[in-house]
Chain A
């Protein structure tokens, strides 16, 4: 009885609150089983179909951007895994403009929970697990097929890279959402950086000319998500601007990007309360 009583009176900290928010979404989606399964399969197939592009090219040329098919699969799998994780957690933040238009944003603002946490949890789409599962399978499978023989540092990077990559894409999604506080019709503009970033990240970085490579490294750190970590894991030399050691820059880049994004998001919400939507 004492146990039960203490459970009833247990204070709700931020973590339990977040768990309750995410938990409710997960339960609700698992209940539509049939359409959920179709969605999941659709997302998984999407990842595979998109890989066919690279596969067709590699079946014609053998080595692409300094990488063999297996090595490219490591890059593709790692980037897809990272993008899938970010899409799951923050993909819906992109919807800011429709929330503003429908007025739903106002109902979120009168709750005592940070807006970003609400947006992240309240439209969590579990179907995106399909992309994550295929990405993970490709990443691990291709690494093993490429004869990955990890030292301790390699192993740390292999685990860290998808998480840092997910953080980078998450920041891009949030920045894309924040931009819509200014450009209510500019949702597509942000796609260039989120989905465009994913496109670049799933491709060997050496493929791109120097200006593009620089842009997608220093401005949008897409090459640091999968390509440069793969250079370290597979012990390959990098092209100009991207020496092998840049494979370790994913996490610092994620931190930098998140700092800038957090400021942008705050400014965006402030703009909304100032302008009134």
Chain B
């Protein structure tokens, strides 16, 4: 069965071209601000996005990362038709976003992590009914899709609760379901896991991966959480100062930077001497009287399973966690290399 029930008026348009094509994209804001000590407010032009070029093929999954103010949100606004570029060209699913905003809205699903798209005072279920009507889904299409989303995102426990009473994790799963209800070809997630606990994050990531595998959707994701990118995307694009600073596979990025990750092990019984580690890894510290061992390793040389296999031969592991290099660190290194 066709999983995409969206009644596209001109299917040819939606099928043509890459998922996202941004060419020499630029966006300026005029800010009226009063300088310190000045009497009058002066207009100042701020360039949020500066000559950004990016092509994303259909079916790709891209992590779009950068520090605050790097131009991520502005780019998403231009991709979704909320904002007109100052210059340059945007094509999303072959459409011009601002001119064809409403048609495009049927083909893309957007989650703004900071802003709810659900109806605050209504039960979660009702939000899906309204959105189903907005996307003109037939009753059958809506039910089938909702069943899938409820199962995949584990929504059944709170479908009948008003959105304002949901926990952040529950609400976020609801937001993702709302964005995916109309089976969009391109899914844009703006900080989807911000403020979520580990369990919610994991559930969300698992479902997004599954849904993408089933439907072959294109995924575009901004995040501060490096493990989001790791779990969801194959390709990472780093923006800095409104332009692309790095574009390539995540593994390559790690390699080229040699950014280390840290595995933190809690052993079942204390062990004072360091664990023997394979090449590419090193002991970074032993704490808590030999219970906690920190192992630093570079992601390019060594995978976590290989490392774990070698370590678990030497000691019983009670608990473990993985510390990722912060996005801000990566961006800083990238910028430093560029200059």
Direct contact of A and B (CB under 8 A): yes
Q: Which residues of A contact B (CB under 8 A)?
A: 7-13, 16-17, 20-21, 24, 27-28, 103-104, 106-107, 109-114, 122, 273-276
Question: Which segment of B95-103, B225-233, B237-245 sits at the interface?
Answer: B95-103
- In the complex, which residues 103-126 of chain B have their Cβ closer than 8 Å to any Cβ of chain A? 103, 105-106, 108, 110, 112, 114-117, 119, 121-122, 126
On whether A11 and B101 interact (CB within 8 A), knowing A106-B82, A107-B112, the answer reads: no
Q: Is B137 engaged at the interface, CB distance under 8 Å to the other chain?
A: yes
Q: How many residues of B contact A (CB 8 A)?
A: 41
Choice from A103, A109, A112 contacting B134 with Cβ under 8 Å? A112
How far, in angstroms, from A106 to B114 measured CA to CA in the complex?
Answer: 12
A9 touches B83 (CB 8 A): no
How far, in angstroms, from A74 to B9 measured CA to CA in the complex?
Answer: 50
Q: Is B130 engaged at the interface, CB distance under 8 Å to the other chain?
A: yes
Q: Is B139 engaged at the interface, CB distance under 8 Å to the other chain?
A: yes
CB distance from A274 to the nearest CB of B (A): 5
Q: Is B129 engaged at the interface, CB distance under 8 Å to the other chain?
A: yes
B84 touches A274 (CB 8 A): yes
Residues in A neighbouring B129, C-beta threshold 8 A: 20, 24
Residues in B neighbouring A275, C-beta threshold 8 A: 30
A273 touches B98 (CB 8 A): yes
List 12 A–B pairs whose Cβ atoms lie within 8 Å, in order of A's numbering: A11-B138, A12-B132, A12-B138, A17-B134, A24-B122, A28-B121, A109-B101, A110-B81, A110-B82, A111-B105, A113-B102, A273-B81
Q: Which residues of B contact A (CB under 8 A)?
A: 7, 27, 29-30, 74, 77, 80-84, 98, 101-103, 105-106, 108, 110, 112, 114-117, 119, 121-122, 126, 129-140, 143
Chain A residue nearest to B98 (CB atoms) is A273
Determine chain B's interface SS by DSSP, over half rule.
Answer: mixed
Chain A residue nearest to B138 (CB atoms) is A9
A107 touches B126 (CB 8 A): no
CB distance from A143 to the nearest CB of B (A): 39
A24 touches B130 (CB 8 A): yes
Chain B residue nearest to A7 (CB atoms) is B139
How far, in angstroms, from A203 to B204 measured CA to CA in the complex?
Answer: 60
On whether A273 and B134 interact (CB within 8 A), knowing A9-B139, A110-B105, the answer reads: no
A106 touches B77 (CB 8 A): yes
CB distance from B29 to the nearest CB of A (A): 6
Residues in B neighbouring A11, C-beta threshold 8 A: 7, 136, 138
How far, in angstroms, from A28 to B117 measured CA to CA in the complex?
Answer: 17
Residues in B neighbouring A21, C-beta threshold 8 A: 130, 133-134
A107 touches B105 (CB 8 A): no
How far, in angstroms, from A9 to B1 measured CA to CA in the complex?
Answer: 14
On whether A24 and B138 interact (CB within 8 A), knowing A104-B115, A107-B117, A110-B110, the answer reads: no
How far, in angstroms, from A106 to B113 measured CA to CA in the complex?
Answer: 13
Choice from A24, A112, A276 contacting B102 with Cβ under 8 Å? A112
Residues in B neighbouring A113, C-beta threshold 8 A: 102, 134
The residue among A20, A104, A110, A275 with the most chain B CB atoms within 10 A of its own CB is A110
B139 touches A273 (CB 8 A): no
How far, in angstroms, from A125 to B74 measured CA to CA in the complex?
Answer: 34
Residues in A neighbouring B112, C-beta threshold 8 A: 103, 106-107
